[in-house]
Homo-oligomer: A and B are copies of this chain.
Amino acid sequence: MMRHDGRKFDEIRPITIETDYLLHPEGSVLISVGNTKVICTATIEERVPHFLRGGGKGWVTAEYSMLPRATGQRTQREATRGKVGGRTMEIQRLIGRALRAVMDLEALGERTIWIDCDVIQADGGTRTASITGAFVAMTLAIAKLYQDKDLKRFPITDFLAATSVGKSNEGQLILDLDYVEDSEAAVDMNVVMTGAGAFVELQGTGEEATFTRQEMNELVTLAEEGIHQLFAVQQEALGLVGQMIRQKEEDPS
């Protein structure tokens, strides 16, 4: 089977991560996964939300948005509608939760990392691209913090990346769905993994359809293969900073 854009079933789209994309944020990237482009920034705030105060631990939270013309049809701004929609909330909760899995919140101390993922062009997989890019932006911000402040230890414990896999209407299992594939998919699964190969999040969803246990396992295998390629791109983007994380993995403390 050939996919509509010529990819093989287990082939991810070209990925680039441009670091320090913006002037002001402590960490920022422009990540491109095929035609999907997301600006991810990380901001460090020297305090934590109310429910964590005085506990010595930090927090990571995320917000996600799309430019109105990131999409083929113009999408109304959530600011204009006066409220954040259900899909946006679901995605930003996912991003925050995923990143917290590789953050040593005690080492971070009473600080909040604000992650902002703004999709400037959407072609499927915006939430997984956001996680993959946000990890790099967050790591850049933490590296600066680690140089400036007296942290006990480097607070990022492992690499983290995400991709989607799915089952097409014809029953074909495929890796890294673009918008056309995603719209037609019977099953859609988002997988978030750490560099050590553990799962952080696994969200498989049948859209008016179901999947068997065997398909579940094949999809997960496909996702694992894709995510390993993402780790390589992240490592290249991070350069020396990436070393600190690899040392962690070898010698976690």
Contact = CB atoms under 8 A, between A and B. Distances in A.
Contacts of A202: 189, 202-205, 216
A82 B83 contact: yes
A43 B93 contact: no
A203 B200 contact: no
Contact of A206 (B39, B71, B199): B199
Interface stretch (A62-70, A126-134, A144-152): A62-70
A169 to B, nearest CB: 15
A231 interface: no
A93 to B, nearest CB: 5
A162 to B, nearest CB: 13
Nearest to A72: B24
A244 B21 CA distance: 36
Interface of A is mostly: mixed
Interface residues of A, number: 69
Given A83-B82, A114-B74, A198 B220 contact: no
A118 interface: yes
Interface string A100-143: 11010100000000101010110100000000000000000000
Given A63-B68, A69-B25, A82-B83, A208 B105 contact: yes
Given A74-B114, A90-B89, A69 B199 contact: no
Interface string A7-41: 00000000000000011110010000001000101
Contacts of A67: 39, 41, 116, 118
Nearest to A84: B79
A93 B86 contact: yes
A199 B208 contact: no
Interface string A76-90: 011111111111111
30 contacts: A24-B70, A24-B121, A28-B69, A41-B69, A43-B74, A63-B77, A63-B80, A67-B116, A67-B118, A68-B114, A68-B116, A77-B79, A79-B81, A79-B84, A79-B88, A80-B84, A82-B82, A82-B83, A83-B83, A86-B93, A89-B90, A90-B93, A97-B205, A101-B210, A196-B210, A199-B206, A199-B213, A200-B206, A201-B204, A203-B204
